[in-house]
Amino acid sequence: MKNTRDEAIVSPYLVLAIGILAVSTASIFIRYAQEAAPSLAIGAYRLLFAALILAPFAIKKNIREIRTVEKRKLSLMMLAGIFLAFHFATWITSLEYTTVASSVVLVTTAPLWVAIFSPIFLKEKITRITVLGIIIALIGSIIVSLGSLCDFSQSTITCESIGNISNGKTLMGDFLALTGAFLSAGYLIIGRKVRKDTSLLTYTFIVYAVAGLCMSVLMIFSKVSFIGYPPTAYLLFFALAVIPQLIGHSSFNYALKYKSSALVSVALLGEPIGSVILAFLLLKEIPAAVEIAGGAFILIGIYLVSRSNDG
């Protein structure tokens, strides 16, 4: 990807730093919103509000570009929107079943899958450092899952029985969060491919709108109501749209024009740290030592993968 500094109005590194701070608030807002609304409604309103906020600016400034988008590029943006919708559907739902620490750390393994799929879709090579990083991060994922299923507080380690594990909420939550990571990787890879010759406003407006409509369809099929929630819930939906979506996700999409998808995805490393700290301060949710250890493995692995693939 062409990477000329004079094309960037604002430093991509500064924008990524802002994005990290913004997305770290997402899981906290979601936890509060889940007290009054189902996960699908939270995700749908987050994306719909974001698209509605962008709509007047996109129509006024970029209507010509929007009308003349090539069919192939439009298809890719629509696919990115579908990936984003199902990413939110799986990740937000995971927060109902597992801890903020486990959910956020697992969903931010997305850079791993970016590195794995990049050679296929972006023709990038996988180095030995990448393979090492993948192994370390996968070990970390196993440790995080064990932290949800086992009790390490006593002198002996006790875990749920096989039957409880297969039906347990924590395992379902961890699985949904990991699925969200796969979908996020697809979203980032498409963003790198499309953003190099598409404006940020056009790209984000189309992707967020498609994602919002997709989640709305999921709500209809799941018989989830669009109305009837308390005013505080709608305020939280709006906060999710403005801070982690418009500021956070748009920051990553901005950087994708100037930096590789691997480098942009490594910015997600800051999210679990920020989210766990906020969860401790606001939700009084203390991560277990084993979850912290597993998270450290995952962060080291993602760092190695992203560094080896920085282009």
State residue 173's pLDDT score. Answer: 87
- The model's confidence at residue 150, banded by pLDDT at 50, 70 and 90, is low
CA–CA dist 188, 194 (Å, integer): 10
The model's confidence at residue 4, banded by pLDDT at 50, 70 and 90, is very low
- Per-residue pLDDT at 185 exceeds 90: yes
| pLDDT band at residue 2 using 50, 70 and 90 as cut-offs | very low
DSSP states of 294-310 as a string?
A: HHHHHHHHHHHHHHHT-
The values of phi and psi at residue 236, to 5°, are -70, -40
Beta bridge partners of 159: 150
158 — pLDDT class (breaks 50, 70, 90): low
Q: Report the candidate in 20, 5, 71 with the shortest Cα–Cα distance to residue 244.
A: 20
Confidence at 145, pLDDT banded by 50, 70, 90: low
pLDDT tens for 270-284 read 676 666 777 777 767
Let me know the angle formed at the C-alpha of 145 by 143 and 147, rounded to the nearest 5 degrees: 70
**pLDDT: which is higher, 58 or 265:** 58
Q: How many Å apart are CA 131 and CA 308, to the nearest integer?
A: 10
pLDDT digits (tens, 9 = 90+) for 37-78: 998 999 999 999 999 999 999 999 999 999 999 999 999 999
DSSP, residue by residue, 190-235:
HHHHHHTTS-HHHHHHHHHHHHHHHHHHHHHHTT--SS---HHHHH
Contact call for residues 306 and 115 (beta carbons, < 8 A): yes
pLDDT of 113 strictly over 60: yes
Q: Please report the pLDDT score of residue 223 as a whole number.
A: 94
8-state DSSP, 95: T
Q: Name the residue ranges covered by the structural domains of the chain.
A: 10-308
Among the listed ranges 28-42, 55-69, 75-89, 129-143, which one has the minimum average pLDDT value? 129-143
Residue 55's contacts (CB-CB under 8 Å, 6 or more residues apart) are: 205, 209
Comparison of pLDDT for 2 and 69, the residue scoring more: 69
- Encoding tokens for residue 117? 């799929």
What value does the mean pLDDT take over residues 147-154? Answer: 61
- pLDDT tens track for 218-244: 999 999 999 999 999 999 999 999 999
Q: How far apart are CA 221 and CA 22, in angstroms?
A: 31
The DSSP symbol for 150 reads E
128 or 189: which leads in pLDDT: 189
Asked whether residue 176 carries a pLDDT value surpassing 80, the answer given is: yes
Which token pair is 173?
């939550």
